[in-house]
Amino acid sequence: MTATAMPTDSAVPWAPQDLPVAATDLGSWSYVVLEEIVDDAAVLHRWSWPLVDPLGRLLWPERAAEASSDAAVDLDLLRAQLYTPNKIMRRPRCGDTFAAPPGDLSWDGQQVVDLRELLGSGGVYDISADAREAAKIAYQSSLAAIQPASAADDESQAAVERVLRRRSEQPLHPLRLSPPPDRARPARIQ
């Protein structure tokens, strides 16, 4: 199967609906994904902020992959510093996605003992739901022709509006990064 690349000049910065950051500011943010979990270690992968094409698919400018970086984090540290203090009840899972604010943060495949070294001290947002929705859009658009929203029947349009209204009633809040526990240890990736 051959994919046709959408020219990036027709794309704009992706702006998750609930992310309280102006779309014009997102170009300096980072898109961080929990890429892999192996035993007690998690691999976080950071890219530049994605664009969205006219069909709703996420894409990254050329050479974005070259500018991406990874860091290994102990899974207990991830839970203790990010998930537990923010009452994220689920376990960390592959595909969890975060918006990280701009900053001169080092990501050199290093082993981390304090998440604040990677993500800063605050202003990180859990955008997993929006990222999963974007992945569904990309998958579905690869299977069938894209139809304009006006082509949907009234019942479908009303259902989408209800979901969007319900989501907008619960805006995203910045996540708090607590200090690491005293016994924090670097992740070991074999």
Look at residue 4 and tell me whether its pLDDT is greater than 60: no
The answer to whether the beta carbons of residues 143 and 45 sit under 8 Å apart is: no
For 141-180, how does the pLDDT look when each residue is reduced to its tens digit (9 = 90+)?
Answer: 777 666 666 677 788 777 777 766 666 666 777 887 888 8
pLDDT for the residue numbered 125:
92
pLDDT tens figures, 54-74:
777 788 877 776 778 888 999
For residue 186, tell me if it sits in a domain. no
Residue 183 lies in a domain: no
Residue 60 lies in a domain: yes
* Number of domains, the chain: 1
pTM above the 0.95 mark? no
Any domain includes 1 = no
- What is the tens place of the pLDDT at every residue in 62-118? 777 677 888 899 999 999 999 999 998 889 999 999 999 987 666 776 678 888 888
Nearest-angstrom CA–CA distance, 29 and 49: 6
Residue 54 or residue 30, greater confidence: 30
- Where do we find the tokens 């998690």? 42
Contact criterion met (CB below 8 Å) for 109 and 73: no
Residue numbers of the domain that contains 83: 8-176
- Alpha-carbon distance of 167 to 174, in angstroms, equals 16
Q: Please indicate, yes or no, if residue 187 is contained in any of the structural domains.
A: no
